[in-house]
Amino acid sequence: MPSLTRDEARQRAQLITVDRMEVDLDLDRGAEHFGSTTRIRFSCSTPGESTFLDVRPVSCERIELNGIQVDPATLFEGRLPLTDLGAENVVEVVATMAYSRDGQGLHRSTDPADDEDYVYGHLFLDAAPTVFACFDQPDLKAPYAVTVRAPESWVVLGNGRATRGDDSTWQLSETLPLATYFVTVCAGPYVSVHDEHDGIPLGIHARRSLQPELERHAPQMFEVTKQSFDHYHRTFDVRYPFGDYDQVFVPEFNAGAMENPGCVTFRDQMLHRGAATREQVLQRSNTISHEMAHMWFGDLVTMRWWDDLWLNESFAEFMAYTCTSAATEFTDSWVEFGIARKQWGYAAERAPSTHPVAGSPAPDAQSALANFDGISYAKGASVLRQLVAHMGEAAFNAGVTAYLRSHEHGNGQLSEFLAAMEEAHGESLADWSAAWLETAGVDVIALDRDGTLTRTAPDAHPANRTHTLDVAGFTDGAEVARESVRLDGPSVHVDLADATVRLPNASDLTWAQVDLDAATLAALPTDLARIADPVARSVVWGAVLTGVYRSTVDPAVALDVFTATWPHESHDALMTRVAHAFDHRIVPQFVRDEARGDAAARLGVAALAAFESAEPGSDRALVAARFLAETSTDSERLTAWVEARSLPAGLEGDSDFRWLVLQRLARLDLAPDDLVDRVSADDTTLSGHLAALAARAARPGIRDKEWAWGEITTNRERSNYELNALAAGFWSSGAVDDMRPYAGRYVSDIPRLAEWLGADALDRVATLAFPSRVVEDATAELVRSAMGRPDVSSGVRRSMGDELSKLEEALTSRARWA
């Protein structure tokens, strides 16, 4: 299928205006197909001209344009020509569509807990034509009137309030103008809880088998929802415009969530089945706040084209962390941002695919998928923090409000946003935008023992970025100095007296990778755990991690810092993210083969030390128990935990923890079929089914690997989540000699999945199935060669390239520190 180009979109938007969309869906036709009838009223600025409609059906039963039959045979590669247009037009398309299994379009999933079916629409980025006929581009917004026929036992939700008729047909109230990719319908035997706030009806919905989890978590989610509404109403001074506010937790969702106006969809793993740490609740709360911010940035005002994606995602990211830190109990949410989101963004900046925050080329819609990364999210949010520091919070909020009001229910772009902000600021932002928004790359900031703070821009992307930040000094963990700095040149002098640990960007206010001096690095094993400020510790941990990835820190030194200080870390977000980085990347990739066993054992020792010292039932104990379950080689302890004996406090009956332990046993080749079957019989949920697949794929035996790879690459019945589980388990174990052949099979087999798998799902599989544990030059050569092949899609090429960049970082580090 051809992807819509920017030029085609511009030409079509100049020619037509969509006035109203009427969509009728029949979801009562069985498990494979559904009926779709679309009536589009649109005007044409130049009568007699032609355009095309986007629709990708199984079959077309009838097409009419202005009362005249159109031959369905003219439909080619998803495009239906519309010729001899009038000033006012009506096109009607009656079609049969297919449910998806890859999380795109109208996805249908069967819950193995009770065999109930659930449907949800995820029309991002260009999947709308698989559900209804449309002019599928973000700047042709229109009101939607939707009806849905569904089985008798189903509930229907969507962008407008749903009202049930007498014949199992639901009418959704007509919406305000929406972009095509924001339209959704959720249908199935969903269960619900309701509330109201500030005149806005609220609903939270989930699968019937998740009703206990829904009811347990709903009060906290409603609280964050209400706090976020109040914060955004105060900040934007523009009321939420989309009527009811439903939040639907759906199965097998590719993204974290999607900001459909009035009907936000979330991956339902966020309804935690067992124990949840404060960080996990923060992540969900931040996602709730993030998607709500989109009601203004993305939904009320939509980017004109995908190259201004940052106007959606950077703002939602920044606004969400601002909201959670200012208006909820999570006043420390920027700690999690620094160690999780910024690390994701820094990795994207180091990759060859790095791009500017704004204006990154998106010549067609599909290519825009490559920009949904840590740059558009984390870097964009960090840049906005710098803009607030540059122009002041009051002027920033005034500019945002002016932009929203002048473009509401329409579209915007970078130049229009900057104009509003310059009006509020009273000065030009051209230089600021050129340096921060329109130039790729991340600066490196370092502070030497003489007090010289330096800024180094990357050679490939030179820019004169002014950094507003602070530096701090610590001795024996106590803060002895802190100084605010405006770094607008190559260097500036700061006075930190005789501080032992010297930390640039101590409050994590700017976007920059931090190099720690040798004396500071040497002091960390004794001093890091004693620093009280969790933001400062987040910056230190981030500097250690990025130092390993950039080959400026010896992995052995980083491991010494970890084993000495991680068992004493008190912030659960830092504990979780740093442990994950060492266990999933630094030890498997950066530590040489002959030393890896000892390094992995040291992780287990650190996990045990933290577990034994933590208060039972605390967040710290929970994180430590999970890390111990992932790293321990104590088969007696692991077996006891699987059999529900001697479980840590708070983890009794926790199925997810049990699967975590079983997957560790599987990696140790101690999980035979009968054990996996027995645990599966106790957990017949979708989560249990996926965990069992991951466990089987995690076993190191050659036959197990062959089975798992065949399921990933040849079984077309596997859903997106099943493929993810298999791919994640596959590379978690196995001798390098046994796994090496799969590097070659990766480059030959994974691109072929495009024959039946959607781009969103395929790109994720291409990432998870990457041969990251075969850290060899030959692997890098295989992938480089594959990336040049014409049969490799742009999304898979991006996934390959990003993972190759990480592999090359490990190869460089091994050579540097050999």
Burial of residue 594, with CB atoms counted within 10 A of its CB: 0-12 exposed, 13-18 middle, 19 or more buried = exposed
Burial of residue 458, with CB atoms counted within 10 A of its CB: 0-12 exposed, 13-18 middle, 19 or more buried = middle
Q: What is the pLDDT of residue 624?
A: 98
- CB-based contacts of 32: which residues, under 8 Å, 6+ apart? 98, 99
User: Residue 370 — very low, low, confident or very high, per pLDDT cuts 50/70/90?
Assistant: confident
Tell me the CA end-to-end span of the chain in Å, nearest whole number. 48
Q: Answer whether 616's CB lies under 8 Å from 592's CB.
A: no
Please give the residue that has the higher pLDDT: either 794 or 534: 534
- Does CATH place domain 6-189 in 3.20.20.30? no
Q: Which of 291, 711, 803, 809 is catalytic?
A: 291
Q: What does the mean pLDDT of the chain come to? A: 96
Cα torsion for 319, 321, 326, 328, to the nearest 10°?
A: 110
Cα 502 from Cα 594, distance rounded (Å): 34
pLDDT in tens, 49-108: 999 999 999 999 999 999 999 999 999 999 999 999 999 999 999 999 999 999 999 999
Angle of CA points 622, 627, 629, to nearest 5° = 95
Is 291 annotated in the active site?
yes
Query: How do beta strands 200-206 and 245-250 pair?
Result: parallel
CATH number of 301-436: 1.10.390.10
Q: Answer whether 33's CB lies under 8 Å from 56's CB.
A: no
pLDDT in tens, 709-735: 999 999 999 999 999 999 999 999 999
Percent of all residues in the chain with a pLDDT value above 90, rounded to a whole number: 96
Residue 807 has pLDDT above 80, yes or no: yes
pLDDT in tens, 96-138: 999 999 999 999 999 999 999 999 999 999 999 999 999 999 9
Helix ranges (H only) for 274-413 are 278-294, 310-327, 333-336, 342-350, 380-391, 393-407
Cα 231 from Cα 142, distance rounded (Å): 28
Q: What is the pLDDT of residue 684?
A: 96
User: Residue 386 — very low, low, confident or very high, per pLDDT cuts 50/70/90?
Assistant: very high
Q: Answer whether 349's CB lies under 8 Å from 323's CB.
A: no
Cα 577 from Cα 52, distance rounded (Å): 48
pLDDT in tens, 391-424: 999 999 999 999 999 999 999 999 999 999 999 9
- CB-based contacts of 236: which residues, under 8 Å, 6+ apart? 296, 397, 400, 401, 404
Residue 152 has pLDDT above 80, yes or no: yes
Q: What is the pLDDT of residue 768?
A: 97
* Token pair recorded at residue 696: 């089987």
User: Residue 372 — very low, low, confident or very high, per pLDDT cuts 50/70/90?
Assistant: confident
Cα 720 from Cα 770, distance rounded (Å): 16
Residue 361 has pLDDT above 90, yes or no: no
Classify the phi-psi angles of 585: left when phi > 0, otherwise alpha if psi is within -120 to 50, otherwise beta.
alpha
Q: What is the pLDDT of residue 262?
A: 98
* Sign of the dihedral through C-alpha 344, 350, 352, 355: positive
Q: Answer whether 120's CB lies under 8 Å from 27's CB.
A: no
pLDDT in tens, 440-492: 999 999 999 999 999 999 999 999 999 999 999 999 999 999 999 999 999 99
Q: How many CB atoms within 10 Å of residue 616? A: 11
* Distances from the Cα of 497 to the Cα of 524, 567, 754, angstroms: 18, 30, 59
Percent of all residues in the chain with a pLDDT value above 70, rounded to a whole number: 100
* Distances from the Cα of 806 to the Cα of 347, 515, 548, 812, angstroms: 8, 19, 11, 10
Burial of residue 219, with CB atoms counted within 10 A of its CB: 0-12 exposed, 13-18 middle, 19 or more buried = exposed
Q: What is the pLDDT of residue 198?
A: 98
Cα torsion for 265, 270, 272, 276, to the nearest 10°?
A: -150
Residue 785 has pLDDT above 80, yes or no: yes
Q: What is the pLDDT of residue 215?
A: 98
What average pLDDT does range 631-646 have in this prediction?
Answer: 97
Q: What is the pLDDT of residue 369?
A: 78
What average pLDDT does range 736-754 have in this prediction?
Answer: 97
pLDDT in tens, 677-715: 999 999 999 999 999 999 999 999 999 999 999 999 999
Helix (H, G, I), strand (E, B) or coil at 484: strand
Q: What is the pLDDT of residue 166?
A: 81
Residue 790 has pLDDT above 90, yes or no: yes
Q: Which of 730, 733, 741, 728 is nearest to 776 (CA)?
A: 741
Widest CA span in the chain: 84
**pTM of the entire predicted model:** 0.97
Q: Answer whether 511's CB lies under 8 Å from 383's CB.
A: yes
Cα 701 from Cα 670, distance rounded (Å): 11
